[in-house]
Structure 1
Amino acid sequence: MMGPGSAPMLVLSANTKREQGKKVQIGNIQAAKTVADVIRTCLGPKAMFKMLMDPMGGIVMTNDGNAILREIQVQHPAAKSMIEISRTQDEEVGDGTTSVIVLAGETLACAEQFLYQQMHPTVIISAYRQALEEASKLLKEKCCIPVDINNRDEMIKIIKSCIGTKFISKWSDLACNIALDAVSTVKLEENGHKEIDIKRYARIEKIPGGSMEESQVLRGVMINKDVVHPRMKRRIENPKILLLDCNLEYKKGESQTSLEFTKETDFSRVLELEEEYIKNICEDIIKFKPDLLITEKGISDLAQHFLVKANITAIRRVRKSDNNRIARACGATVVNRTDEIKQEDIGIGCGLFEIRKIGDEYYAYIEECKSPKACTIVLRGASKDVLNEVERNFQDAMNVARNVMIEPYLVPGGGAGEMEIAKLLEEKAKSVQGIHQWPFRALARAFEVIPRTLIQNCGANVIRTLTALRAKHAQDGNVSWGVDGHTGEIIDMKQLGIWEPLSVKLQTYKTAIETAILLLRIDDIVSGAKKASSLNEKSDTNGQSNKKEEEAAPKEE
């Protein structure tokens, strides 16, 4: 038992598992390779899907590296950290989650032979670090081209190359336009600083039914709500919108409040007070003459009565995030108390409010906004599983558009960038002194795993195609030659129009190689997890006392 001020201690007991030295490093490399092998077939336009079943019985069908790894349960600590890098990649740039795992696995696999040759891990690490710096520098200097973000056709091409490997590629024109419109809508520029917050202000609403072609991006917001009273208007043009974050109900006393009535009139007086209070807060609202009232909390029946009389339409219990989105779309401010409402808090930037029924559900559309800084993407599709996959694809597409808008540089896709980096690092390795040269050269070869996997996934001859591609890059001026993921032939990516944002590539290399370095640094794994069998024996022998101890002791995470 630890005292309140004592430091946590790692106690090595008889049933603590411990692995040391080279055995751990080889084990970590094997674990990383296993994770990479699971994901390997999910790279490129001919990517295979994985079907995952979660413990609740739900199924997920996807070829998105991050979505797959999120669902996989692993025990090995090195495999866990591999899964973590896919999530990091997704949060940072939103794309390249599959490439980062494949590259990290290959980087570690290259280190294995050096460990068997008794090379110290720190030597490998310093060579890898040097190679990573060189790769980042060479990518910026030799491989990337600037892009005009105001040229819509160019932007569509870039997003198309991201969507090409996804399930949604069949509707790529529609999808690219929707993604680009959504990102352009939420873009904010202040004092030369760009802010594009897709997570918060571009919401995807999935409505099963209808066809994929009916999907659209609204110039405004849509929420899955109906009006609170049947006599309220269901269509208002150019509404004045008031957003609230407070109850339009009588404030109940706290739990310790108790009322004592001594005569009959007291009870009716309490009811009168309630009515007066609600009437007052409704009058605070009515004097500003809004057409539409949206609140995050409840609206009582009496308040509804006053609002209907004043010809105000109301929607209640809207999510906080939705309310913020509506505020951004129509230029309103969310008000926390009714007595603090000012005229400028009311949003007048919206062209149309309408309740529409789709299937059995009612949806409130607040659209045709003048200059919306938030939007909703309405997705239609055959079934829930299809819609979930399409949503994941859209997130990737929007992230690509966002990355290019923030950092407008592109690198050729289809493994061309990696192949060029491999060639340039190979040349650079000749000038590296001493033993560091070998891991440096090995990492140069590791970059070839991306084009190799692309060739494998579309069933072409790997050795022949890769050799031809290597020969092509050996000649100067062929930077943009890569693998056509559909046919497995080598082709100029400029012709195909397949480009990737520079920020995604840089992040992929950094995350993959730094994780490999981190895992090579580990030379000792101590797991203090008790074996389940020994615990069961204990509980059999001293059942009751053990239970009491467990209840008294704090649970370990």
Structure 2
Amino acid sequence: MDNTNTVPSALELPQHLAPSPKESSASPGEEAQHQLSSTAAVQTLASVIRPCYGPCGRKKLLVTVTGETLCTGCAAAILRALELEHPVAQFLREAAQTQAENSGDGTAFLILLTEALLEQAEDLLKAGLPRTQLREAYATATAEVLAALPSLAIRSLGPLEDPSWALYSVMNTHTLSNTEFLTKLVAHACWASKELDGSFKPERVGVCTLRGGALEDSCLLPGLVMSGKPCGQMTAVLTGARVALFVCPFGPGSPNAPAIALLSSPDDLATFSKGSEQLIQKQISQLETVGINVVVVWGEIDEQTLTLADEHGIMVIEAKSRKEMVYLSEVLDTPLLTQLVPPLKPGKCQRVYRQELGEGVAVVFEWGCPGTPALTLVLRGATAEGLRGAQQAAYHGIDAYFQLCQDPRLIPGAGATEMALAKMLSDKGRKLEGPNGPAFLAFSRALRSLPKTLAENAGLAASDVMAEMSGVHQVGNFLIGVGAEGMINVAQEGVWDSLTAKAQGLQAVADVVLQLVTVDKIVMAKKSPTQQQILNPDTKKKKESLSAMQKKILQMYKEHHSQ
């Protein structure tokens, strides 16, 4: 096999970048100038994310600071759960979360490519390339990559085409067991929620998780579905629903009730009970007066208050989580109230009703106007971890469809695009002189680390797979990527990436790396002992006072026993 396609190490630089004999015997202080202070933190973070990269990646079992157990292979979820103290790690997490919000995916891609580029940058700095020239050369290489990326797009999603084939590879993560079924469900929900002008808004498709059953029991329901349950006799409002949201107890335990009652006689107790009943009666009457006929509560629900609500024709729904309440508040455009008072702007929808799904119960909110949730994907599962993985995959599919509606072009997945871009940079880098040549070769080597990681996570001989892929790409076949059993043709296997998501990811990586390569030292401000004493002037006095008191008690103890 021809080995001319092998990308050389960034240390194999042109002679004019090699350090002179005098420079080679530099002191440890001078050698430290070539080290990037941010590399170690990025490497540590990447070591956590790397085993999870790709569909064959593994999962992490995390225990958060709140004691919650999280089993996931989603890089974005792992980053949210980690308690990071290093400023560079926090900076990288912020960039990765922004990438996930903008494109729905690419968190692991951003972290791993950032690590690889910083490692290559250190080699370039050790070889004598100044930081300013390194930054400019990396920026030039990024521009070349982004300019070449559209030429790799060989498929597009048609405006009237079923998007299942395009969403499958995005949703085919290691957290799912039945990707094909869920992909078709998400594709149908997105297709049915399109606007009349052909545009698509992700907020038109909701995702609700409901414990019980299997993933195959998942379904689509009209409107917005939440996993709450009606508590009283009213189980439906079929027309003109007006909704109020309360994050407080539904009953005497509300902030309006007296905090302390001083009762000295049975008459006082009777008066207090009568006053409390009158207050609740007044609150329920006020809700009815302004037309509230649906109440969603995140808190305790008093039975007597629930009975009054039934008498006034108010449907009471018990919410399962505050997250659902916040989402309802955004969709209904009505505030979350901490007291049982009528909202200034009640939420409005067409109807609200109870929906039984197997052994589970949900509540459906339906609208009849555009711009509101059209469909909700109700996911079923036996475990919370399985539901969390399916929910994450569904959101990835919805975000991918939104991107494809804006730019329908697709590029090869499974590391094929990274290999093609690496070959392009390598070919150009060999012909360039000055800093751009070594920087192009370094960027090429960093890109090749991503398909190598896919091969390692799939349990393959990574060196053999990379050698074979390099030979195939060298002859111009850029459709070859890494599969579970070796090299695959991504066009035949249907493994695609969104051009928009990949371009955004590469641009985000470049922004992060170009900032970090100019950081030579991390300085963290710490409070001095003098400052601590100024902020807490009584601390020393308290310690001295406590010490004197302890001495006095000890002296009394000795005198007592000596007698």
* Same-fold status (TM-score > 0.5): yes
Name the SS for the 1:434 alignment partner.
coil
C-alpha separation between the residues in 1 aligned to 2:161 and 2:374?
A: 22
Letter in 1 for 2:206: A
- Retained in 2: the 8 A contact 1:127–1:439? yes
Per-residue deviation at 1:69? 3.2
Residue 177 (structure 1) aligned with residue 184 (structure 2): yes
C-alpha separation between the residues in 1 aligned to 2:86 and 2:191?
A: 42
Per-residue deviation at 1:487? 0.8
Equivalent residue in structure 2 for 1:202, among 206, 223, 235: 206
| TM-score, structure 1 normalization | 0.73
- Retained in 2: the 8 A contact 1:160–1:172? yes
Letter in 2 for 1:398: I
Evaluate the alpha carbon distance shift between residue 47 and residue 495 of structure 1 in structure 2; reply closer, same or farther with a 3 A threshold: same
Name the SS for the 2:459 alignment partner.
coil
Per-residue deviation at 1:511? 1.8
Unaligned runs of 5+ in 2: 1-28, 260-267, 545-563
Matched residue, 1:106: 116
Evaluate the alpha carbon distance shift between residue 544 and residue 376 of structure 1 in structure 2; reply closer, same or farther with a 3 A threshold: same
Evaluate the alpha carbon distance shift between residue 182 and residue 530 of structure 1 in structure 2; reply closer, same or farther with a 3 A threshold: farther
Matched residue, 1:347: 349
Evaluate the alpha carbon distance shift between residue 243 and residue 167 of structure 1 in structure 2; reply closer, same or farther with a 3 A threshold: same
Matched residue, 1:545: 540
Q: How does 1:52-63 map to 2 (within 5 A)?
A: 52-63=62-73
Name the SS for the 1:25 alignment partner.
coil
Per-residue deviation at 1:173? 1.7
- Retained in 1: the 8 A contact 2:37–2:521? no
Residue 163 (structure 1) aligned with residue 163 (structure 2): no
Equivalent residue in structure 2 for 1:315, among 297, 314, 317: 317
C-alpha separation between the residues in 2 aligned to 1:409 and 1:313?
A: 48
Matched residue, 2:481: 483
Evaluate the alpha carbon distance shift between residue 126 and residue 547 of structure 1 in structure 2; reply closer, same or farther with a 3 A threshold: farther
Matched residue, 2:222: 219
C-alpha separation between the residues in 2 aligned to 1:103 and 1:299?
A: 51
Letter in 2 for 1:177: K
Q: How does 1:82-101 map to 2 (within 5 A)?
A: 82-101=92-111
Per-residue deviation at 1:189? 7.3
C-alpha separation between the residues in 2 aligned to 1:530 and 1:325?
A: 40
Name the SS for the 1:483 alignment partner.
strand
Per-residue deviation at 1:129? 0.4
C-alpha separation between the residues in 2 aligned to 1:23 and 1:217?
A: 59
Q: How does 1:58-457 map to 2 (within 5 A)?
A: 58-143=68-153, 145-152=155-162, 155-168=163-176, 170-184=177-191, 195-197=201-203, 202-207=206-211, 209-229=212-232, 232-234=233-235, 236=236, 238-244=238-244, 252=256, 277=282, 281=286, 284=289, 308-309=310-311, 311-315=313-317, 322=324, 347-348=349-350, 350=351, 353-354=353-354, 356=356, 363-366=361-364, 373-429=373-429, 432-457=432-457
Evaluate the alpha carbon distance shift between residue 429 and residue 504 of structure 1 in structure 2; reply closer, same or farther with a 3 A threshold: same
Per-residue deviation at 1:324? 8.1
| Identity between Structure 1 and Structure 2 (%) | 23
Letter in 2 for 1:313: M
- Retained in 2: the 8 A contact 1:145–1:411? yes
Evaluate the alpha carbon distance shift between residue 252 and residue 486 of structure 1 in structure 2; reply closer, same or farther with a 3 A threshold: closer
Unaligned runs of 5+ in 1: 1-18, 256-263, 550-557
Q: CA RMSD in A?
A: 4.5
Per-residue deviation at 1:148? 1.7
C-alpha separation between the residues in 2 aligned to 1:35 and 1:243?
A: 45
Per-residue deviation at 1:505? 0.6
- Retained in 2: the 8 A contact 1:210–1:380? yes
Matched residue, 1:509: 506
Residues paired across the two proteins, number: 497
C-alpha separation between the residues in 2 aligned to 1:269 and 1:382?
A: 47
Name the SS for the 1:111 alignment partner.
helix
Instruction: Identify which range, 63-72 or 74-83, moves more after superposition.
Output: 74-83
Evaluate the alpha carbon distance shift between residue 145 and residue 25 of structure 1 in structure 2; reply closer, same or farther with a 3 A threshold: farther
- The one-character-per-residue Cα deviations of 1:142-196 (angstroms, maximum 9, x if unpaired) are 43543225312xx21222112223220x211221133334445665678x97542
Evaluate the alpha carbon distance shift between residue 210 and residue 357 of structure 1 in structure 2; reply closer, same or farther with a 3 A threshold: closer
